């Protein structure tokens, strides 16, 4: 059996008008005319078969039925707003898409990714292991990790590592004892300008920079 719902536009107009006790303020909030609010209220009253408002001169008040109905639906509208805000916040904060060369993803990032997930369980990291042209970012990617000279003027860069210890893509993987060879190139965390202020991006940046600093210190102590 299908559930009966009143016209949703009329219900939205009633909630705003009842909250403000003003058709004018309800119209301003919903970006419609006062006449449109009045029409929606009339439609809802005809649907319900009862009066919701008392109109006296310039004043507006709820009838007993209108007051009771408003109290019932007010919490529902509030719950819808809260659920929408939570969903949008999770979507904005919760998914982080990073592109990087396959070698880097398999041999370095994936074995360490659990550490980040334990620190930030609310962020879902999605890795795109692809060989991508340096200096560009595709639209659905938040971050990228490149190996090169860092000459990408249109992007925001964070230098991660300048040795060969982290294999990536076509960078040669050397025996462990030989992986301290210097290089003019480096690994960079790359993002579009301004993206470093986003919570999920900043969290990943801070984590990977701190982790590499720690691993560099441990490696230098070992050798």
Query: What 3-state DSSP class applies to 27?
Result: helix
**pLDDT of res. 152:** 81
- Same domain assignment for residues 149 and 202: yes
Q: Tell me the C-alpha distance between 30 and 27, whole Å.
A: 5
Identify the band that residue 134 occupies on the pLDDT scale cut at 50, 70 and 90. Answer: low
Identify the band that residue 122 occupies on the pLDDT scale cut at 50, 70 and 90. Answer: confident
Two tokens, residue 32: 């419609």
pLDDT digits 0-9 by tens, 174-190:
334 334 444 567 788 88
**pLDDT of res. 131:** 73
Beta bridge partners of 95: 124
Q: Are 144 and 116 in contact (CB under 8 A)?
A: no
- Same domain assignment for residues 114 and 173: yes
Domain assignment present for residue 2? The answer is no
Domain assignment present for residue 1? The answer is no
**pLDDT of res. 2:** 64
Q: Tell me the C-alpha distance between 147 and 150, whole Å.
A: 8
**pLDDT of res. 124:** 87
Q: Tell me the C-alpha distance between 116 and 149, whole Å.
A: 27
Identify the band that residue 223 occupies on the pLDDT scale cut at 50, 70 and 90. Answer: very low
Beta bridge partners of 97: 126
Q: Are 54 and 61 in contact (CB under 8 A)?
A: yes
Identify the band that residue 24 occupies on the pLDDT scale cut at 50, 70 and 90. Answer: very high
CB within 8 Å of 98: residues ≥ 6 apart: 125, 126, 127, 128, 141, 142, 143, 144, 145, 204
- Same domain assignment for residues 170 and 103: yes
Place of tokens 């939205």: 12
**pLDDT of res. 159:** 85
Q: Tell me the C-alpha distance between 16 and 22, whole Å.
A: 8
**pLDDT of res. 107:** 86
pLDDT digits 0-9 by tens, 141-160:
888 888 888 888 788 888 88
Domain assignment present for residue 3? The answer is no
CATH code assigned at 19: 1.10.10.10
- Same domain assignment for residues 27 and 79: yes
**pLDDT of res. 138:** 66
Domain interval for residue 64: 8-91
């Amino acid at each position: 059996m299908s559930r009966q719902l009143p016209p949703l536009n009329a219900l939205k107009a009633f909630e705003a008008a009842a909250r403000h006790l003003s058709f004018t303020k309800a119209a301003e909030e919903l970006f419609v005319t006062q006449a449109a609010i009045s029409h929606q209220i009339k439609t809802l009253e005809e649907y319900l078969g009862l009066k919701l408002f008392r109109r006296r001169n310039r004043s507006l008040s709820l009838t007993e039925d209108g007051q009771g109905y408003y109290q019932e639906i007010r919490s529902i509208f509030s719950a819808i707003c809260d659920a929408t805000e939570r969903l949008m916040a999770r979507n904005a904060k919760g998914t982080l898409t990073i592109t990087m060369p396959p070698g880097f993803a398999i041999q370095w990032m994936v074995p360490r990714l659990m550490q980040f997930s334990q620190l930030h369980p609310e962020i879902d990291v999605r890795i795109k292991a692809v060989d991508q042209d340096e200096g560009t970012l595709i639209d659905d990617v938040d971050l990228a990790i490149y190996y090169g000279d860092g000459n990408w003027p249109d992007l925001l860069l964070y230098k991660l590592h300048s040795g060969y210890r982290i294999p990536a893509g076509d960078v040669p993987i050397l025996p462990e004892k030989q992986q301290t060879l210097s290089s003019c190139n480096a690994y960079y965390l790359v993002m579009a300008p301004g993206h470093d202020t986003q919570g999920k991006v900043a969290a990943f940046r801070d984590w990977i920079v701190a982790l590499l600093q720690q691993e560099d210190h441990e490696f230098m102590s070992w050798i």
